[in-house]
Amino acid sequence: MASHRRPKPAGRARVSILTAAAATAVALSSQSGAHADPAPTKDQVKAQVDALNEQAEVKTEEFNAAVEKEQNLQKQVSQIQDQVARQQAQVSTIQGSLGEIAAEQYRTGGIPQTVQLMLSASPDSFLNQAGAMNQVGSSQADVLKAFKDEQGKLDQQKHEAEQKLAELDATTKRLKADKEEVQAKIAKATALLESLSQKERDELAAAEAKAAAEAKAKATAAAPSTERASRDSARTDVAVNVPAGTHAAAAIAAAQSKLGSPYSYGAAGPSSFDCSGLMKWAYAQAGVSLPRTSQDQRGAGTNVGTNIANAQPGDLIIYKSDASHVALYVGNGQVIHAPHTGAVVRYESATMASINAIVRP
């Protein structure tokens, strides 16, 4: 008969090991939960969004520069192609002349001149013709030289056109990459903001609105103000201390008329703007042509340094070490600018960031 034996109870050592393993698992589990990254606070999200907006603005100015370069290259390519077409017509005309000369030589050059003289019924007439033939030979050389010169010009122009087309293609690809990078940064910033509660988003928006209102109040403190119709009927425009009829006064008035307009990267008006687009548009209304990017606008006038005390209404204030932001000085330590995606054209303190240059167009 088979013997029935009870299973041996687990030894104390084994129980201890299993208990310790279970305890460790529970501890690790709870530790993992305890160390999970907490959701970022409102201030942390704002800091990240601000950083992304700054990065996007840098890429936006690079995007603007690429757009301008692409447009200039397209004009250059068009001009060169026109030159090539005209040069080709010139070469074709000379080729026609060479063809006629070749045909004439074929018709007459087969019989040596001495034989033609022997066969000629009028030797005197032939000798006169022979003199003319020598002159034709000299003329042929001139035509051939002209052909070589014109053909050389044509080849050079074709080569230049090929180079410009290659440069245009590279610029277009860079433009696409810059646009995608800006869009990615904006999308990331938007996602961060959307991760906040509605209450937190409202608080951030209220803080921005308060800052803009305080900047406007400071700008109006030293000068009378007037009410003007706008999309925001409560807005008060700043009457700056600048002579009427000047380019500066006209540019400021134009910028003030766009307060509340949305920021949009790559936009230069009339309904939305990025930072340099607003400057270009405002000064265009004053009859002054500015370059498209903030970096180029840095060299679009007299540089009066970096001390805000030297600024006059109408000056361009260039910010950051890479000159990636620009605003319009309106007096009393305030500027009008297009800040970043999600914001609108507004007043702000002129010392909101490090000043790279103050430029008087």
Among the options 35, 247, 337, 340, which is catalytic?
A: 337
What is the structure's pLDDT at 193?
81
Q: Please calculate the CA angle 30-32-37 and round it to the nearest 5 degrees.
A: 125
* Segment 203-242, tens digit of pLDDT: 877 887 777 777 767 666 644 443 333 333 334 455 567 8
Distance of alpha carbon 125 from its chain centroid, rounded? 75
Residue of 336, 52, 311 lying closest to 212 (CA atoms): 336
Q: Which of 4, 35, 159, 275 is catalytic?
A: 275
- The pLDDT of residue 62 is 87
Check residue 25 and give its pLDDT. Answer: 43
Token representation of residue 13: 């050592």
User: What SS3 string covers 172-202?
Assistant: HHHHHHHHHHHHHHHHHHHHHHHCCCHHHHH
Residue 288's pLDDT is 97
Q: Do domains 42-194 and 198-360 have the same CATH topology?
A: no
Least confident of 78-92, 143-157, 292-306: 143-157
Q: Whose structure tokens read 């309904």? A: 271
pLDDT at 211: 73
pLDDT at 324 over 50: yes
Whether the CB-CB separation of 329 and 284 falls below 8 Å is answered with: no
- Which of 4-13, 243-252, 331-340, 350-359 shows the lowest per-residue confidence on average (mean pLDDT)? 4-13
Per-residue pLDDT, averaged over 30-43, amounts to 61
Q: Which two structure tokens, joined as six digits, stand for 146?
A: 């002209």
Indicate if 325 belongs to the active site. yes
Closest CA to 258 of 274, 246, 240, 242: 274
- Residue 140 is predicted with a pLDDT of 61
- The pLDDT tens digits for 148-187 are 777 788 888 888 888 888 888 888 888 888 888 888 888 8
Residue 247 appears among annotated catalytic residues:
no
CATH number 3.90.1720.10 is the correct assignment for the domain at 198-360: yes
337 included as an active-site residue = yes
pLDDT at 155: 84
Catalytic residue, from 4, 35, 159, 325: name it: 325
Global pTM reads 0.62
pLDDT at 295: 95
Contacts with 328 (C-beta within 8 Å, 6 or more apart), sequence order: 251, 252, 255, 278, 279, 282, 314, 315, 316, 317, 335, 336, 337
Q: Which CATH number fits domain 42-194: 1.10.10, 3.30.70, 1.10.287, 1.25.40?
A: 1.10.287
pLDDT, mean of residues 41-69: 84
* Interatomic CA distance for residues 141 and 122, integer angstroms: 29
pLDDT at residue 138, as a whole number: 62
Let me know: does 59 contact 340? Beta carbons within 8 Å: no
What percent of the chain has a predicted confidence (pLDDT) above 70? Answer: 69
Mean pLDDT of the chain, nearest integer: 76
Q: Where are the domains of the chain?
A: 42-194, 198-360
